[in-house]
Amino acid sequence: MSFGKNISISIFGESHGNGIGTVIEGLPSGIKLDMDEIAQEMKRRAPGQNKLSTTRKEADSAQIQSGVFEGYTTGTPLAAVIANNDTHSKDYSILKTHMRPGHADYAGSVRYSGFNDYRGGGHFSGRLTAPLVFAGAIAKQVLKSYGVTVGAHISQIEHVRDANFDPVNVDATRLHKLLAKELPVIDDTKIDAIKEAILNAKNECDSVGGKIECAIVGLKAGIGNPFFDSLESTIAHLAFSVPAVKAISFGIGEQFAHLRGTVANDSYHLVDNNIKTKTNNNGGITGGISTGMPVIFETVIKPTPSISQQQQTVNIKDNIETTLKIEGRHDPCIVQRAVVVIEAIAAIAVLELWR
C-alpha cells in the first residue's frame, strides 16, 4: 500500500510486466526539477553498468506523465512510468512451483494465493526500487530547496569495512564527493578489496552482502514526532521496504547495548551560538525528533539470494522436496546499486515529516 500522510507515494509494477512506476502526491508546487540529475540518479541504480552487477540492461528512463509543467512541479500528483525492455522471453514457469530459497517466492505465493506474477520475482523484484529511486530523486530536489542533503556509501562488503562518516562533521561537500565514485566509499584504499570480494563471489556462483551507511545533513532540529511518527520509525519503515534490508541502526546503534549512560549521552555545547552536541552517538535523533546534528543510520543488506548453484527446495505444486539451480542474470552483490536506494528512502522520509 502507498506510503505517507503528508506526501503519498505509490509504486507499481512487476519485473517482466509492461511497466513499472510511481505516483507521488503532496509535493509542493513550484520546485524546479533538474531532469539530468534525476536521470543520473536512475543511472546510479540501473543494472548493466559494470561487471559487478547483472547483465540485464535497462535504460530506466522515467516518462513523466503528470505533475510537472514547464519544468516545475505543479503540486498535483506526479506520475512516472518506466518501461521494462530487456525482459527475456524464456520460460519462467519453474518459479511458479519451485520456491527459490531466500526469495519472496513462497511467502508471496501464499500471500496472493498463487496469482502473483512469478516471472523474475514479479512485484517482489529489486527492479521495483527503480521507481523508489525516481521518487527519491524528486524528494532530494525538494529537500535541496530546504538546505538538506542526503548521501550514502558502502560501509561494508563481506569482510571489507569502509571508514565511517564523521557523525559530527559530515557535510554536503563530503557527501557530494561520493557521487563521483564508481564505488562510493570514504576510504578509496578499500576499493580493490571490495571489487575482489564481489568478483570472487561471482566467480564462485555465489553472492555477498554488506552494509550501507547514510547521512542526512543540513536538517534543522524539530523534524519528526514522538512515538508513532518518529524520524527513526519513518526511516526504518521505508528502509525495510527495500528488498534485502535486514537490519537498521541509528548513530552508534548496537554499541549502545554495552555502553554506560555517562559515555553514550551526547553533551550539548554552543558552536557559534548554535546548540550542538559534542558527540553524535544518537545519530542526530532524540525522542524521535531531529536534533540538528547529522542524521546517521546504517542498514544491513543480505547477499542476493539468486545464486547459480543447486539448492534444496520444495515444489509447492506437488508438495515434494526437490532441487533448483537458478538460471539467468544475477547480481553477485546488490549493495553498490542499493546505495542510491537507501538515499532515496531517507529523502522520502524527511520529506514526509517536513514541517
- Residue 242's closest CA among 197, 162, 164, 299? 299
Applying CB under 8 A, does 1 fall inside the site for a second copy? yes
Nearest approach in angstroms of CB 184 to a second copy is 17
Q: Is 309 in the site for a second copy (CB under 8 A)?
A: yes
Does residue 253 touch a second copy according to CB under 8 A? yes
Told to check if 51 binds a second copy by CB under 8 A, we report: no
Q: Which CB contacts under 8 angstroms, 24+ apart, belong to 321-330?
A: 322/98, 324/94, 324/98, 324/99, 324/100, 324/101, 326/100, 327/90, 328/88, 328/90, 328/120, 329/54, 329/55, 329/56, 330/54, 330/207, 330/304, 330/306
Decide if residue 218 touches a second copy (CB under 8 A): no
Cα 250 to chain centroid distance, Å, stands at 16
Among 286, 338, 341, 351, binds a second copy (CB under 8 A): 286
Cβ burial, residue 279 (10 Å; 0-12/13-18/19+)? middle
Rule CB under 8 A: is residue 325 a binding residue for a second copy?
Answer: no
CA-wise closest residue to 165 among 248, 283, 259: 283
By the rule CB under 8 A, 257 interacts with a second copy? yes
Asked whether the beta carbons of 280 and 221 are under 8 A apart, the reply is no
User: How many C-beta atoms lie closer than 10 Å to residue 262's C-beta?
Assistant: 6
- Residue 95 C-beta: closest distance to a second copy, Å: 13
Stretch of 53-61, 138-146, 175-183, 312-320 lying at the interface with a second copy (CB under 8 A): 312-320
Residue 272 CB, nearest distance to a second copy (Å)?
A: 11
Q: 149 or 156: whose CB is closer to a second copy?
A: 156
3-state SS string over 12-59?
A: ECCCCCCEEEEEEECCCCCCECCHHHHHHHHHHHCCCCCCCCCCCCCC
Candidates 34-42, 52-60, 162-170, 311-319; binding stretch for a second copy (CB under 8 A):
311-319
Q: How far is the CB of 222 from a second copy (least distance, A)?
A: 4
- For residues 6 and 40, which CB has a smaller minimum distance to a second copy in the complex? 6
Q: Is 166 in the site for a second copy (CB under 8 A)?
A: no
Query: What would the grid cell of residue 91 be?
Result: 520460460
Strand (E) or helix (H) holding 210? strand 210-217
For the segment 56-95, give every residue that binds a second copy (CB under 8 A): 63-67, 69, 72-79, 81
- Taking CB under 8 A as the criterion, the residue among 46, 283, 296, 336 binding a second copy is 283
Q: Which of residues 101-130 bind a second copy (CB under 8 A)?
A: 101-108, 110-117, 122-124, 128
Task: Find the binder of a second copy among 42, 185, 194, 301 (CB under 8 A).
Answer: 301
Which one among 151, 184, 224, 294 touches a second copy, defined by CB under 8 A?
Answer: 224
By the rule CB under 8 A, 249 interacts with a second copy: yes
Our CB check for a second copy shows the closer of 170 and 326 to be 326
- CA 327 – CA 162 distance, rounded (Å): 32
